[in-house]
Amino acid sequence: MDKNTAKMIHTFEQAGEMMGQFAYLIGQYFDKLTDQGFTREEALVLCRAYQTSVLKSAFANSGQTPKKEENDD
């Protein structure tokens, strides 16, 4: 196994461990946005943008780039 593949696997393992906490965080963010007067649609757009930003950062740190069709905003 080459170094990049090992690094990518390690990154995905770490990400998998954090998914529950990440989902909770996004759920709380969504709730707070709607509590502050954002519509559900607006809150969803903001949550999706936040999630995309976090995932792009994770891929950038792993040396991998998400496929174009996986990141069509």
In tens digits, the chain (73 residues) has pLDDT values of 788 888 888 878 887 788 888 899 999 999 999 999 999 999 999 999 999 998 888 777 756 555 666 555 5
Q: What distance in Å separates the CA atoms of residue 66 and residue 52, rounded to the nearest whole number?
A: 10
User: What local confidence, expressed as pLDDT, does residue 63 receive?
Assistant: 60
User: Which pLDDT belongs to residue 46?
Assistant: 98
What does pTM read for this prediction?
Answer: 0.61
Per-residue model confidence (pLDDT) at position 37: 98
Distinct helix (H) and strand (E) counts, the chain: 2, 0
37 vs 62: CA distance, rounded Å: 37
**In the chain, what are the domain boundaries?**
3-71
The confidence score (pLDDT) of residue 12 equals 80
Label residue 34 left, alpha or beta by phi (over 0 means left) and psi (-120 to 50 means alpha): alpha
What integer pLDDT is reported at residue 52 of this predicted model? 92
Residues with Cβ within 8 Å of residue 56, at least 6 apart in sequence: 66, 71
